[in-house]
Amino acid sequence: MTTDRRTLRSTFELAAGKYHAARPGYPSALYDELVLTSRLRLGDSLLEIGGGTGKATVELARRGFTITSVELGHDLAAIARENVAPFPHAEVVCADFEQWRPAPGVTYDLVFAATSWHWIDPSTRYIKAASLIRPEGHLAFWGAQHVFPEGGDPIFRDIQPVYEEIGEGLPDAATWPRPGELADHRAEMWECGLFDNVVVRHFDWEVSYDVDGYLDLLDTFSGHIAMAKWQRERLYSEIRRRIAERPDHRIRRHFGAVLHIARRRS
């Protein structure tokens, strides 16, 4: 894993207090697909990679699964424990997933990662996950990414000159994906040789924010956390000004998730 990845993934601790309220939940249809395709049954044992404050943990615990969630950040893990407290079959372990090991002989029906898979070392993540999945159990991962539908909020393109002004402009190769156009990882899932029956599904949804809610969301993104104070102040003041000029004083952000599910080879 590169130093940059290790450094950036640790920044979420700085946003632990805002993370659960600010980050979007995932659509119920995504969980329905996950349960159906993974052939999960009530009481099955799940392992979560990088559970954060427990947004996905809570939803799957509510559906009756036994969950162990491994979270790197102490503050994030503490909040997750509070959020899963109503579910005695869910536990949160504060540890680095790449170093963590379960008790000898323990494997899981499903290993999953919600907006955290990309933080795990690409050279070892499939090997580590497969080692923790029972034969013919499943691996699943997905994330919430920004997508740009026709008729979506224009502020994201309009604000780009401010990002460029503060030295945080998009790279030349950046794209503006529409719903259904997000890249998927099915090829690497096949190529690692550890999984088969790869299924990929796209989901998208929209969230409306007031200005404080939207800036709280930005405060949970690693790139914004890592900005210098003057950069955030310049950017956030301009976002506040533009949203204040709107009749409803709100901003619409469209999210997309690409759900990947694969069966461990027996």
Classify residue 170: in a domain, yes or no: no
| Banded pLDDT at 15 (limits 50, 70, 90) | low
The yes-or-no verdict on residue 33 having pLDDT over 80 is: yes
Please tell me the pTM assigned to this model. Answer: 0.91
Strand partners, 195: 264
pLDDT of res. 3: 41
Q: What are phi and psi of 171, to 5 degrees?
A: -65, 160
Question: Which positions ≥6 away from 176 have C-beta within 8 Å?
Answer: 148, 157
Q: Which domain holds residue 43?
A: 3-152+177-208+254-264
pLDDT over 50 at 38, yes or no: yes
Task: Round to whole Å and give the CA distance between 263 and 204.
Answer: 24
Q: What percentage of the chain carries pLDDT values higher than 70?
A: 94
Per-residue pLDDT, averaged over 106-118, amounts to 97
234 three-class SS: helix
Residue 161 located in a structural domain: no
Domains identified in the chain, total number: 1
Residue range 118-155, pLDDT digits in tens: 999 999 999 999 999 999 999 999 999 999 999 999 99
Asked whether residue 246 is domain-assigned, the answer is no
When the pLDDT of each residue in the chain is averaged and rounded to a whole number, the result is 93
CATH number of the domain where residue 74 is located:
3.40.50.150
Residue 30 placed within a domain: yes
Q: What percent of the chain has pLDDT over 90?
A: 89
Domain assignment present for 106: yes
**Average pLDDT rounded to a whole number, residues 197-204:** 98
Report if residue 215 sits inside a domain.
no
Beta carbons of 78 and 105 less than 8 angstroms apart: no
166 located within any domain? no
Contact present, 204 and 255 (Cβ < 8 Å): yes
Distance CA 58, CA 63 (A): 9
DSSP of 34-85, one letter per residue?
A: HHHHTT--TT-EEEEES-TTSHHHHHHHHTT-EEEEEES-HHHHHHHHHHHT
pLDDT over threshold 60, residue 5: no
Q: DSSP secondary-structure letter at 115?
A: S
